[in-house]
Every structure is written in structure tokens, then in C-alpha cells.
Amino acid sequence: MRSGDTLIKFITVIIFLALLAYMGFAVFDRFINPLETVKAVSLTVEDAIEVNGYAVREESVLDGPDSFVLVVSDGTKVSVGQSIAVEYSGESSLSRATRIREIKAQITQLENNSHAGKRSEAELASSSVIALSRAVQSRDMTDIEMSVAGVRTYIMGMYGDGSDPDSILDQLHTELNNLEREASADTSYIRADASGIFTSVVDGYEHVTVADLDDITPSSLSSLFKDSEADPDALGKLVTGIDWYFVASLPSEDVNRIRDNENHTIQFKNNFGESMKMHLDYTSPPEGGKCAVIFSSNKFVSDICSLREMTGDIMLSTFTGIRVPKNAIHYDENNVPFVYILAGLQARRADVELKEDVGDFWVVSVEDGSLLRVDADIITKARDLFDGKVVK
């Protein structure tokens, strides 16, 4: 029994010493051959040129005394002869104007229904509620008035007495003519002399027209937008035409990067915040290391009609790859860059293509099926690595 106990104790000591030796070796190996890794993450890099400039379009200022009241909202499209502002002589004049708008909206509703064909009362009521909801969401007062007229006509039963629609229209036209005849004597209007988009924002640069951009230079651009004051009597302005222009001054080296392409995506910031395609119409000769550039578009005209100074980024390229620390990049005898990936217990080679330098990292691309993918363990520190080496 004693010899058996001695043998067990001896074996236990041997096992303990073996474990201790293994742990010591592991600690020593870790000390002389440290292994450090980092997770691979995806990163998108954008190559862009920041640009600060001015919006230019054809626009005219609308003047009027303070007694005039605007009857259109910002961004409203108006037609030739449409009322933009009205001056009322008193309460009766104001009430008459309200009634005139109601009648015009009701006439439009009835005529639209007539043109669309006969529909059931339920269909008309449903469509009028939907139209009112959409108008309220868009905050367009003209659409709201039209939609309210539809609700009053088809739901509240203002004309639901079984009368002939043509007879009702005749009555409304007669009433409208009489009211407009009365209004001509005590109501004054400011009307649009051209079709366009109205905005109440006036900044004093409305005198700058598209013609002023001909052969523009960086210095003449600065002169165009310098020390101007808004007209104190302005009720607003009318933006005409469907094209608008974005003019700016850029360093010559940046202009050389965009000159060969006709269309560019500009990501605007601040008040606008939209990304849009614009056509590069003109680049000036260099002047003091800068060039004037002109972009044009016919999109978002209503959205920018109240804006003048605009800031954005001219997007040149966008690349999404994998971010790799620079100290993890290795080169073989043919100067091909690669990294080591921890795959199980081994270090495995994964070739990469260096795309963008972002400080302490490279953004790289890899071929399909590569061991380097998002969440892979990139080896950043180890000794005497080679493909297939057991490192763990």
C-alpha cells in the first residue's frame, strides 16, 4: 500500500511539474513572440472637394406698401396675372375677397368632377377628404383652400340638394362676376407679370443675373456679391425660368480634377441638404491660383429660390473597403502588399490592394473569397511570421 501511495504522489508531482513547465514556456513564448490582433472593419472613403458659392437665377423684386397683404406662400408657382398681394379698403372688402376665393375653389371642384365623369357621392366625399389631408401635410395654402371647398361641397352638402350641376355652376359664376365687379372699386392688387415661383425672401442681390456670369473670374465674382442691401419696400420676389446656376471660386488644382467631366454630384449642406447632379458649364482661366466655376441645374428650383449662399461637396469618388492598420501591412519580394490573418491557430496570408491612405490606416480592397473580411482577426504584432505558421 505504501509503495502504491508513493507512486501516485510521484506521478502527481510529475504532472504538476509538466503543467508548470508548459505554462512557463507559454509565458516565455508570449514574451519573446507576442501576438496581437485587431478586428477588420468596413470603411467608406469619399473623395470630395468642398465648395462655397452663390445661387444665381432670373428674378425680379415685387415692391408694395405695407398695407398690401400677401395671398401666396413661399415656393408657390404663380401664373401670369395671378394675384400675389392685395390691399383691402375695409372689413367688407376683406370678407368679399374671402368669398371670392371660396367660389373659385368650388367652381374648380365642380368643373373637375364634371370633366372626370360622373362619380358616386361616396367616391367624391372620400377623395375630398384624402385631398385635404395631403394639402395639410404639404402646407400649401392654395391646395388647402381647394380641398376645403371639396369637403364643403361633397360632405357638408352645401350643394347636395339635387340641383343640376350646370345650374349650380351658372349661379356661382354669376355671383363671382358680381363680387369681382364690386371688388374692382375698393380692392388693389399686385399681380405677377410673368410665370414663376414666389418667395418673400429678398437679400439685395436680385440684380445679379445670369448675363453677369459671362466670362466671370474669381475677382469679378467677389465684386458681384459685395455690400448689397435688401430693398426695404420689397414684398418678395418672383423667380422665373426653370434653370438656376451655382457659381463659386475653387483652387486651380481642384478645377483640374473636375474639368474633364461634364456632370458632377454635389452634396449640399446647411439649409438645403440635398444631393444632386449638376452640369459644369464653365471654368475660368486661372487668376491668383483660383478659377471661377459655374454649375447649372433645373432641379429643386422651388427649394432653393430663397437661398443665395450655398455650401457643398463636389463628390469625385466613393470607395468602401476594409480598414487595415499600417503596421499590419507586409510586402513580398515582388512588392505585393499583404496581411496575415489569424485563422484558427495559424497565420494565413491575404493579399490586398492599397486604395486610400487615412492616417494610421489603409483602406484596402480584396478579391472575392479572401480570408480578409469584416470581423476577421488581422495580426498586427508577431515574430517571424510566415504563411501557415502556428502562432497560438
3-state helix, strand, coil in the chain (%, to 5): 35, 35, 30
Comparing 31 with 98, the larger pLDDT belongs to 98
- Residue 80: closest CA among 193, 189, 240, 188: 193
Q: Of the ranges 167-176, 262-271, 286-295, which is most confident?
A: 286-295
- pLDDT score of 160: 46
Q: What pLDDT, on the 0 to 100 scale, is given for residue 66?
A: 78
Q: Is the pLDDT of residue 122 over 80?
A: no
Q: Using CA atoms, how far apart are residues 248 and 281, in angstroms rounded to an integer?
A: 12
Direct distance between the N- and C-terminal alpha carbons of the chain, in angstroms, rounded to an integer: 43
Which domains are present in the chain?
Answer: 31-58+242-392 (2.40.420.20), 86-188 (no CATH)
Cell of 185: 372699386
Which of 261, 258, 244, 259 lies closest to 297, judged by CA?
244
Model confidence band, residue 113 (pLDDT cutoffs 50, 70, 90): low
Least confident of 128-137, 169-178, 280-289, 290-299: 128-137
pLDDT tens digits, one per residue of 49-95: 999 999 999 999 998 887 788 888 888 899 998 889 887 766 777 77
Task: Tell me the pLDDT tens digit for each residue of 322-334.
Answer: 999 999 999 999 9
Q: Residue holding cell 483660383?
A: 290
CA distance 278 to 268: 11
* Max Cα distance, the chain (Å): 131
Tracing cell 462655397 back to the chain, one arrives at: 52
Model confidence at 104: pLDDT above 90: no
pLDDT digit string, tens, across residues 179-210: 777 776 777 788 898 999 999 999 999 999 99
265 to each of 14, 296, 301, 312, how far by Cα in Å? 73, 12, 16, 10
Q: What is the DSSP letter of 368?
A: T
pLDDT band at 267; cut points 50, 70, 90:
very high
Which band of pLDDT confidence, cut at 50, 70 and 90, is reported for residue 158?
Answer: very low
